[in-house]
Homo-oligomer: A and B are copies of this chain.
Amino acid sequence: MSSRSRHKEGEFTFLRKLLARVPTGRGVVVGPGHDAARVRAGAKDWLLTVDSQVEGVHFQRAWLSLSALGRRSFRVAASDIAAMGGRARFVLVDCGVPERLPLASLQRIELGLVEEAQAWGAWVVGGNLHRSVELALSVTVVAEAPRRRVDRGAARPGELVAVTGNFGDAALCVHLLRSRRPCPPGLLRRWQMPPRLDRLGRMLVEGGLPSAMIDVSDGLVQDLQHVCEVSGVGAELNAASVPRSQAYRRLVGDDLTFALSGGEDYELLFTVPAKRLEAVRQLARREGVALTVIGRVVRGHRVVVEQQGRELHLQRFGFDHFAG
């Protein structure tokens, strides 16, 4: 349930707000505007989300195998569920099929998706096929909600901002592929296969540890801004502390553009009171997930990104130093 950051962000922000205003009622615990909706079904709550992968927008076929496309499509959609602490259970796939696509190709995509879902404990229970110009996969995930609730709107001043994993690899990879430059295999795999963070997400939520959580799909700063906006707070982000891979540093040095605003990282970003940080660290260690504190929540409404004592300013398509 994210917009794609590459395309006229203002429009999508407007539309996200539009969608967040639609009326909801009985049974809707968390409505539009979050990673996933939370609905009441009998005694239990369920999470619902949809996300899509469209050829030419999110991927080119040369960038990954058909099976990997199926797997990636599931992981991208399931990332929203991980950020709400859910357990993916049922999957629907709506597939737009270009005329020229061989049957065997569709079968390979389908099998990749089915296998990936199964590995997460989820079943593909139905789907729909239709013609389209672009190969397009729209994946709906239905998940068991955790008993506790976490969303984007409860960050409080004084709390820490923490993230899992590294940032910028996926966006840098796409940038290289689009400009037809060689992309190291490690970066490519990182883009092809978003991280699996559902177990950690669930343990964090069930443990009542984060105050707010989101999966970073649109870009680290933008998604942090979204959390701040909904929570009515600001944040200070220490740019140098944003975790980046060796491959990233080797390719772009200290350039933080892709790490801060590239998007498609599908890592978890959350706010947490300092006293609960050690408990979070223990869970992350047990899951083998890297955890980094990158800033803190402050009063106000701005996300201030600092590097070497200076404030970085967001440009339309990325970050740039503010000439001091």
Contact = CB atoms under 8 A, between A and B. Distances in A.
Interface of A: 1-4, 7, 11-12, 14-16, 18-19, 22-28, 31-34, 36-37, 39, 41-44, 46, 48-52, 54, 56-58, 89-90, 92-94, 96, 103, 106-107, 110, 114, 118, 123-134, 136, 138, 140, 142
Contacts of A90: 27-28, 37, 39, 48
Contacts of A123: 22-28, 31
Contacts of A51: 94, 128
Nearest to A29: B125
A125 B31 contact: yes
Of A7, A24, A92, most buried by chain B (CB within 10 Å of CB) is: A92
Contacts of A138: 50, 52, 94, 128, 138
Contacts of A34: 126
A49 B138 CA distance: 13
5 contacts: A18-B110, A26-B123, A50-B94, A54-B130, A92-B140
A133 B131 contact: no
A100 to B, nearest CB: 12
**Which 9 residue pairs spanning A and B have beta carbons closest together?**
A37-B125, A42-B44, A37-B126, A138-B138, A94-B138, A42-B42, A50-B92, A140-B140, A24-B123
A308 B82 CA distance: 61
Contacts of A48: 90, 92, 125-126, 140, 142
Contact of A28 (B22, B56, B125): B125
Contact of A1 (B18, B114, B127, B131): B127
A128 B57 contact: no
Contacts of A126: 1, 19, 31-34, 36-37, 48-50
